[in-house]
């Protein structure tokens, strides 16, 4: 089991791994399960090549149940797409390789934490939730969805360059989007020398002040 990242580590020294799952959705009598996983890493948020596509992981996942129509309508994944896909447990080496030595990142981390319970005692953490960060730093935003945030910050073209041909609610596309927002926030609020704790437990007042101070 990997050691959790120390929350007093300076952010500039931290490595991050964003994870996103798409799920089969709710069906009567069935437990929700993941049908796609996306993982992306950011080992140095201060370089232009901080999010290298060579280290992306994107895979459909086997599910012992059909995908609900409501879920298909959101992410477009079909039962045919996941036929023959590996189960999540079979991807343990890749998942551990991405997350094991890095701080996990997700936009609204509840789903990701729940599905990662398939790996008992994995020790991943502490989590950086970019949805919480968005609420802290941009409380005035009309919505804190990743799509709206990246559009308003002008980051969508960068995302499309890193993930050509993909779209929102693709697990990798959403994972990379959360890293781009995290990198932007670290720069916009001048957080590089702050402890990781500032990302793990964001304080709304402090973030708002830092964002406007950094703006000059």
DSSP state string for the chain: -PPPPPTTSBGGG--EEEEEEEE---BTTB---EEEEEEEEES-TTSTTSS-GGG-EEEE---SSPPPHHHHHHH---HHHHTTPPPGGGGHHHHHHHHTTSEEEESSTHHHHHHGGGSTT------EEHHHHHHHH-TT-S---HHHHHHHHT-HHHHHHHSTT--TT-HHHHHHHHHHHHHHHHHHTT-TTSBTHHHHS--HHHHHHHHHHHH-
The model's pTM: 0.93
The answer to whether position 2 is within a domain reads no
Name the domain count of the chain.
1
Q: What is the pLDDT of residue 5?
A: 74
Looking only at the bridges linking them, the beta strands covering 34-42 and 16-23 are antiparallel
Q: Which residues of the chain have pLDDT under 70?
A: 1-4, 45-49, 121, 214-216
Give how far Cα 5 sits from Cα of 8, 23, 143, 195, Å.
9, 28, 30, 11
Residue with tokens 């959360």: 178
The answer to whether 182 and 105 are in contact (CB under 8 A) is yes
CB 139 within 8 A of CB 112: no
Report yes or no on 5 lying in a domain. Answer: no
Exposure on the CB side of residue 24, measured as CA atoms within 13 A:
21
In percent, how much of the chain has pLDDT > 90? 72
Domain with 26 in it: what CATH number?
A: 3.30.420.10
Query: Residue 158: which domain range?
Result: 11-215
Task: Establish if 140 belongs to a structural domain.
Answer: yes
Domain for residue 201, yes or no? yes
* Inside any domain, residue 6: no
Task: Supply the pLDDT for residue 16.
Answer: 94
- Asked whether residue 4 is assigned to any structural domain, the reply reads no
């Amino acid at each position: 089991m990997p050691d959790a990242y120390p929350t007093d580590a300076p952010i500039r020294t931290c490595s991050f791994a964003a994870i996103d799952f798409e799920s089969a959705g709710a069906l009567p009598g069935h437990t929700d399960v993941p049908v796609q996983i996306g993982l992306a890493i950011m080992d140095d948020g201060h370089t232009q090549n901080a999010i290298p596509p060579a280290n992306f992981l994107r895979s459909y996942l086997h599910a012992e149940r059909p995908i609900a129509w409501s879920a298909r309508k959101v992410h477009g994944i079909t039962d045919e797409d996941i036929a023959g896909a590996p189960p999540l447990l079979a991807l343990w080496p890749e998942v551990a390789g991405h997350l094991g030595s890095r701080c996990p990142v997700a936009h609204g981390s509840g789903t990701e934490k729940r599905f990662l319970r398939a790996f008992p005692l994995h020790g991943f953490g502490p989590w950086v939730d970019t949805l919480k960060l968005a609420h802290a730093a941009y409380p005035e935003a009309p919505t804190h969805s990743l799509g709206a945030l990246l559009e308003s910050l002008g980051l969508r073209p960068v995302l499309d360059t890193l993930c050509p041909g993909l779209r929102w609610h693709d697990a990798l596309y959403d994972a990379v989007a959360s890293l781009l927002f995290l990198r932007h926030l670290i720069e916009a609020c001048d957080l590089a020398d702050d402890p990781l704790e500032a990302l793990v437990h964001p304080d709304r007042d402090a973030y708002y002040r830092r964002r406007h101070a950094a703006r000059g």
